[in-house]
Structure 1
């Protein structure tokens, strides 16, 4: 099960993010965090497949209605060791911070 926990300008993601979860989350992706979220912390994310990586990249640039001109891109931080392997494989270093 995947969980998104908002704390001020950070959103903490925990659990597993696979194709099954992505299919369920995609229609409500704008509700996963607030428009003020600047950092998506992935430290507690146990497992991510390629569909999960695609969702994370979509969340980085996701804008909320009425904030299109004001929403900065979000930063993904604290990727797990398993996710780091995928980041390296797909050459996605620019999207993920090490915080």
Structure 2
């Protein structure tokens, strides 16, 4: 299922890094960026993850900044308002998630 809304926003920095990975790490054709949650659905909170995967029947698919994105329909409510960013500094390097309720 393709949608026009973006449950997860992607920053320019994150988009650049995802495109770099897709271009240079042998990600197979037909794969898209998967954003999801693991464990802790409820009071304990959730853990976000990113990866690359093929679309499944249970997925919503959308495009953000030229990147095809997959989100499992059942996880959408945990992802609305989340932003995927990429941080690169002297102390660390990697993808980060922020939600609308974080200050």
TM bracket (short chain): under 0.3
The TM-score with structure 2 as length reference comes to 0.26
- The answer to which structure, 1 or 2, has the higher relative contact order (CA under 8 A, 6+ apart) is 2
The TM-score with structure 1 as length reference comes to 0.27
Structure having the higher strand fraction is 2
Greater gyration radius: 2
